[in-house]
Structure 1
């Protein structure tokens, strides 16, 4: 690769990003002087520029670490160089994050910079006493930790956890994203989080490839690029879907597509479409030609990569400007003088309409994390079946049906009516608990997903770790051996049901998006372990006999029945200061009738008489 191209590619990325940022700032009005409480030109321009640099350096660190974990070989020089690049990116990320946090404080507080103690106290309060300041503080500290860990660890598995830590450093910033008005705060945060994570891996991985080119052998460049291309394809889908969802939340309606914010979104969409065409050319033409060793040294290919980085820079610059541009939904919220309902105060979303039987089908609130995960798992499983059939191997159709039905049910629970009303009705919350913990695992486990993956995914021969190698590492680990020991799954599931309803976890899981995600994921994992002990097809170190399986089934059934009976006869409403404080007029009479049937009242009177 020519040295000029290697230096020009990052420069093109940075110049394109800065140029797009400045143009979008002036066009969208974010560069205009504010009529009230203007922080000054230095802050108006310094904050978005610092944010852009933070995004680019974070992408370099996260994308290079992802490339290291899934595409590179530890025994080769590329491994150490990649970790050095990730560490340098994390260091720049830390510094840029500090500057961005400082500019954010100046923008929010609108106080002049002075060397006195009062200014320091105000800054300290912002960083430790406000959610926005605390988010930037945590993100900066995590970026600093990643900088140190990239030097300290060199093993494959520790580097994977460092990559997860780096990706987690973006979460506090994503949680500050919101949509004013009637949009759901949870949906806005989820879409923004997926968008920045996908963009970071996509952009940073390509930039890392450019910087790593001098130490990657020509014979291995084709396979490494093919692996990156697969990662970029997944990121492209995530960025596209989350970007559409985020734009829909913040624009509000098609009538506002002609607003300044809407036109900037259109410009970003055009950049993404061009990037999608770049990806098609990569996968269909260039990677195939790179099987010829001489093709990798041609300047044309690397100038093509530099052009792709330029369009990524354009999209990044527009995205940074959009973060500072007022959205149409926010303008409508300012003009809306309607009173805020108790439900909006508690959940940051408008109270849904009355829960009727028809709305079990018509009510939807898409959770992009679970929706994309379900679609991805179905697509991968079906692709694996197709690959096995083409190879001449057979695979039972019943397993494919179970897998698809189970994931469809999981998508419904996390995106359908149970998700819409789970924060407002205890009954809908219970539906999520039971289906995620019992029904979905019983459908997924007999589909033998681990066996399918190990049979369908190609084995690597260069000692790098791909999906198959990571799956084998998980299956053969001591932790997996202990968790798949037959009694463990049943005990964990029974305990999880009790803890989800009768401990402080109920408030955490019912009142926050993170808690709901942890609830579904935890119950799903425990349910999978329990279902594996009962009806698992995948090979495990210890298989339960008939008596053990019946005992585990009896244990979980007894716990479920006991909890259901207790909920039926208990007085009052669980978490009444949340579910009962929504200000909803519907459902009260129905709750009184259906929640206390005659046999419950009779059994309660009998029990009080016995006592």
Structure 2
């Protein structure tokens, strides 16, 4: 059945089941109440201590308790929204024409209301946060909007919550208007971005080791949202006996397993950064951390029971609403609500030692100290693991090796060179972000440029030569005709989508790859964003993605949305490299200091010549521009040679099948062209009588002397 309108999606003929919306509404109300109560209890236990340590007056009970309640309700709504989008995108399949089926459509509508609630809570958090920071009662801002606007421009928390509301509104609008499966992905991106500002607030965003704390909190929040929000949606879907119930639960179970690991590990790391183990059971902050950890463990154990028992019981039962899975999952959601409430209260609870106490200006800005200038030894051996990009490098290597193992296990060969290239690319990514180079990158422009060039020049080249898409398409099983699409089909859909064709247009790829250098460094953008940790994460991500797109288009061995000739590929590279070289020269000749205010504020413990270091950074940018030219030319020559070899082999096989018919035809044509022309007798133009074959002459007499008849 094909759905072409909202009405058709709402009431399909073959899936006319009990609408689980009321059941979901009751669950949301229940977990919101439980989470709010937990957050209020934690806040009440630590509110007075927090005010004493922060040195601000009491803003009133409305701010004190309204802040954690709005936080936990908003975060639970964001989790429900993100879980709904993940459900619609991956847990249930769309229809054959790409339209959402009934389960996906309902999930998108749930996402709309969830993100709307998240946006409302974010708007409420703006005056609540300002009231909390300033110590002014909330009613003063209601009576004087001008004061609220002035405070909003000063207090950073207000801007963070405004961005949260903007992203949540965008995700909600797309979810409301979407009927096609492809629109779940832009909604997912905006929903993910709506969680990021809250990850950059609170204790994790300042003080010592805030880089580790912030990165771990990002992973913690996203994994917890997918885990809890996904459970809410699949529970409602199972309660309504959805068509793809077993498939959705199976897929959610695999995702939830990894979410449990990420939530547990990231939570422990974040807690260890904020407090020593000795204070775990002797302080309010430590006790709340223990309580939150217990709730996560309990939720994980219930999840394990799902995988071991309840999913099998649900598959066999005819009444899903009375199944053991529904009961266990409802209890698990209540446990999640308590965990979210503890988290909201924890953001209002001061750690045993304030994050900004006894830290140097450099540690306050970048999260750690650098005791001296960089050396070869420190760049190679002085490591600080990047939780996000370092983990990404390790996971990418392991997943790739698993794909290669799967191919070899079934007897298929995979080129060793591709495996080596991919592993070297992952190692380069790990080194650029977690070694001494990554450690010194926020504090020195030259090492930042070294890391930048590795992430945009070296790492993408090696990853592209690894052919990950080809490996995935060969290693992943096909869903088969009539079966729900899986990961292999999702990859193919992404490659052939209009969005992929747009993103791989040569002009856009060159602009992203080279033009961003000028905008970021020479356009002044780097001066604005360098102080934000989130900006460093986005810059690293941009370097990787833009470089990968460029080399995927020029030397990629994977199937791509656009196919261009080797000559065109070489033209793209040759046309873009002069702009890259000119950027390096312009950087060396720039008289002003890029991000001077930032580097001065770090107060380096050694003599740091910013102008000289900037010239070194420009030289690095200029010199590394030659590397991709050599690699691309070599890769194109190899691909050109292999293309000719493949064409020759195809021709030889064809000739073997038809016994060299084409060659014989060609030789016959040559023989005909070289054959001598035949000799012809002279042509006699004397007229001949057709009846008697006698030669007619005019004015002559026959040889027998008779007169021809008149």
TM range (shorter): 0.7 to 0.9
Counterpart position of 2:345? 321
Give CA deviations for 1:113-163 in whole Å, capped at 9, x if unaligned.
Answer: 548975332233334543212222332344344444433222222232123
> Is 2:238–2:321's contact at 8 Å kept on the other side of the alignment?
no
Q: Pick from 546, 549, 558: which aligns with 1:538?
A: 558
Matched, 1:50 2:70: yes
Could you tell me how far apart the structure 2 residues matched to 1:434 and 1:517 are? 15
Note the C-alpha offset of 1:263: 2.6
1:254 alignment partner, one of 262, 265, 277: 277
Q: Deviations over 1:522-577 (max 9, x none)?
A: 33223223333453221236555555555555556655655556666777865545
Secondary structure of the corresponding residue to residue 160 of structure 1: helix
The aligned residue for residue 133 of structure 1 is: 158
Question: Normalising by structure 1, what TM-score?
Answer: 0.83
Q: 2:258 matched to 1:238?
A: no
Is the 1:271–1:312 Cα contact (8 Å) retained in structure 2?
A: yes
What do the CA deviations read for 1:149-198 (whole angstroms, capped 9, x no partner)? 43322222223212322222222232223448741444433332332222
1:352 aligns with 2:370: yes
What does 1:261-276 correspond to in 2, within 5 Å?
Answer: 261-276=285-300
1:159 paired residue number:
184
Is there any run of 5+ residues in structure 1 with no aligned partner, and where? 600-611
Q: 1:434 aligns to what?
A: 453
Shift of 1:14: 4.2
From 435, 448, 451, the equivalent of 1:416 is 435
| Higher alpha-carbon deviation: 309-318 or 1-10 | 1-10
Within 5 Å, give how 1:447-466 maps onto structure 2: 447-460=466-479, 466=486
Task: Count how many residue pairs are aligned between Structure 1 and Structure 2.
Answer: 588
Q: Does the alignment pair 1:375 with 2:394?
A: yes
The 5-angstrom pairing of residues 559-578 of structure 1 reads 575-578=595-598
Which residue is 1:277 aligned to?
Answer: 301
CA deviation string 1:478-529 (max 9, x = no partner): 4434554678756753444555543324435654433333332233223223
CA–CA distance in structure 2, aligned partners of residues 273 and 23 of structure 1? 21
More moved, 16-25 vs 127-136: 16-25
Change (3 A) 1:295 1:417: farther
Q: Does 1:502 align with 2:519?
A: no
Aligned partner of 1:227 in structure 2 is 251
Q: 1:296 & 1:592 partners in 2: Cα distance? A: 70
Task: Answer yes or no: is the 8 Å Cα contact 1:221–1:296 preserved in 2.
Answer: no
Q: Which has the higher helix share?
A: 1
Tell me: higher relative CO, structure 1 or 2? Use CA pairs within 8 A at least 6 residues apart. Answer: 1
Aligned-pair distance for 1:26? 4.6
CA distance in 2, matches of 1:358, 1:33: 43
Q: Would you say 1:310 and 2:334 are equivalent positions?
A: yes
The residue that corresponds to 1:104 in the other structure is 129
Whether the aligned pair in 2 keeps the contact of 1:43 and 1:107 (CA below 8 Å) is: yes
Alignment-derived partner of residue 177 in structure 1: 202
Bigger mean CA deviation after superposition, 222-231 or 293-302: 293-302
Q: Which residue of 2 aligns with 1:608?
A: none
Match of 2:464 in 1: 445
Distance 2:519 2:610 in 1: 27
- State the partner residue of 1:94: 119
Cα displacement (A) at 1:266: 2.2
Displacement of 1:328 after TM fit?
A: 2.1
- Taking structure 2 as the reference length, what is the TM-score of the superposition? 0.73
Q: In 2 relative to 1, CA 80–91 (structure 1 residues): closer, same or farther, beyond 3 Å?
A: same
Q: Show the counterpart of 1:119.
A: 144
SS for the counterpart of 1:540 is: coil
2:57 maps to 37
Note closer, same or farther for the CA distance 1:302–1:585 as it changes in structure 2 (3 Å cut).
closer
Identify the match of residue 232 of structure 2 among 200, 207, 225.
Answer: 207
Structure 2 distance, partners of 1:180, 1:61, is: 25
Q: Distance in 2 between matches of 1:131 and 1:2?
A: 43
Question: In structure 1, the residue corresponding to 2:224 is in which secondary structure?
Answer: helix
Q: Distance in 2 between matches of 1:473 and 1:73?
A: 13
Deviation at 1:431, TM superposition (A): 0.9
> 2:496 matched to 1:476?
yes
Do the aligned partners of 1:13 and 1:309 also contact (CA within 8 Å) in 2? yes
Question: Distance between the aligned counterparts of 1:181 and 1:129, measured in 2?
Answer: 17
Partner in structure 2 of residue 602 of structure 1: none
RMSD between aligned alpha carbons? 3.8
2:404 to 385, 392, 413: 385
1:144–1:463 Cα change, 3 Å? farther
Q: Is it true that 1:63 corresponds to 2:87 in the alignment?
A: no
Q: Tell me the distance in 1 between the aligned counterparts of 2:613 and 2:253.
A: 58
CA shift digits 1:351-380 (9 cap, x unpaired):
412123222233334433323333332333
The separation in 1 between residues aligned to 2:124 and 2:582, in whole angstroms, is 56
Q: What's the offset of the Cα at 1:262?
A: 2.0
Does the alignment pair 1:292 with 2:311? no
Tell me: CA distance 1:235–1:126, structure 2 relative to 1, closer, same or farther (3 Å).
Answer: farther
**Does the 8 Å contact 2:310/2:324 carry over to 1?**
no
Identify the residue that residue 666 of structure 2 maps to in structure 1.
Answer: none
Relative distance call for 1:591 and 1:6 in structure 2 (3 A) is: closer
Match of 2:35 in 1: 17
- Larger Rg over CA atoms: 2
CA distance, structure 2, for counterparts of residue 488 and residue 7 of structure 1: 45
The alignment status of 1:517 with 2:541, answered yes or no, reads: no
Distance 1:147 1:579, change over 3 A: closer
- Secondary structure of residue in 2 paired with 1:328: coil
**In structure 2, how many angstroms separate the alpha carbons of the residues matched to 1:589 and 1:113?**
48
Distance 1:92 1:567, change over 3 A: closer
Render the CA deviation track for 1:12-45: whole Å, top value 9, x for unaligned. 6445434543443355x23669566122334322
The alpha carbon displacement at 1:449 in A equals 0.8
**Deviation, structure 1 residue 425:** 1.4
Instruction: Tell me the CA shift for residue 304 of structure 1.
Output: 1.5
Contact 1:486–1:542 (8 Å) recurs in 2: no
